Amino acid sequence: MALTPDAEVLLTAALSIFLFLALCAALVLVVVSLRRPTTPPLLAAGIIVVAALLAVAVSPVNTPALMGLALTLLGVTVAVVGGNPVTRRVLEIAAGARVRETEDGGIVVRAQDDDGTARTLMRGGRVIGYLERLAAVVAIVVGYPEAIAVVVAVKGIGRFSELGEPEARERFIVGTLASLAWACVIGALLRLAIW
């Protein structure tokens, strides 16, 4: 059944407003969790993002160009900034108290030999995560998701020397998957909304 022009305008406006409010709510929830990631606000943000994705997937209309630009800027912000607490919470659940995180997103690992000295691995993980999510969400929005493979390859090559430690391997794999999953879901939401 085809929509009448008036119904299409109303549906487009309703979808645009819903997406804008959903992305704003998700951004607020992830910003609240930046300092200390906790499950309830991050779970709520995830549910909001998935609900928005489902709404866009079943909608017969797309957002207008100007609203699409605003949604894209807001969505990229949610993807890049929101991936930080989401990834940190997933890593905290995966590693528990075994690994201590540094301010820059690295980890402190105790040596296996007799002296028990600690050393820091995976320095700069927070900044790398921001760049990784930015590249992933932009790649999906512009229709070139193959670029994500390049991002993961470059990241793997850059971290190769540190991946000898089991803690570093686990953090690399779990962190990359959590970070990219968050960015890809939001990238898919934006792509469906504007194209």
Q: Provide mean pLDDT across the span 165-188.
A: 92
Residue 11 pLDDT > 90, yes or no?
yes
The 10s digit of each residue's pLDDT in 76-114 is 999 999 999 999 999 889 887 677 778 777 778 766 555
The confidence band for 121, taking pLDDT boundaries of 50, 70 and 90, is confident
Mean pLDDT throughout 63-87?
Answer: 96
Residue 140 has pLDDT above 90, yes or no: yes
Predicted local distance difference test score (pLDDT) of residue 117: 74
If one compares 31 and 121, the residue with the highest pLDDT of the two is: 31
Distance CA 44, CA 50 (A): 10
User: For the residues of 10-42, what is the DSSP string, one character each?
Assistant: HHHHHHHHHHHHHHHHHHHHHHHTSSS--HHHH
* Top-confidence residue, 187 or 158: 187
Q: pLDDT at residue 49 above 90?
A: yes
Token look-up 């309830």 returns 40
Residue that the structure tokens 């998700």 belong to = 26
Residues in the chain, total: 195
Span 26-46, pLDDT tens digits: 999 999 999 999 999 999 999
Sorting pLDDT into bands at 50, 70 and 90, what band is 171?
Answer: confident
Asked if residues 51 and 24 have their Cβ atoms less than 8 Å apart, the reply is no
Closest to 52 measured CA to CA, from 73, 71, 80, 31: 71
> What is the share, in percent, of the chain residues with pLDDT greater than 90?
69
> Are 171 and 124 in contact, with CB atoms under 8 Å apart?
no
If you average pLDDT over every residue of the chain, what do you get? 91
Q: Where are the domains of the chain?
A: 5-194
pTM for this one? 0.89
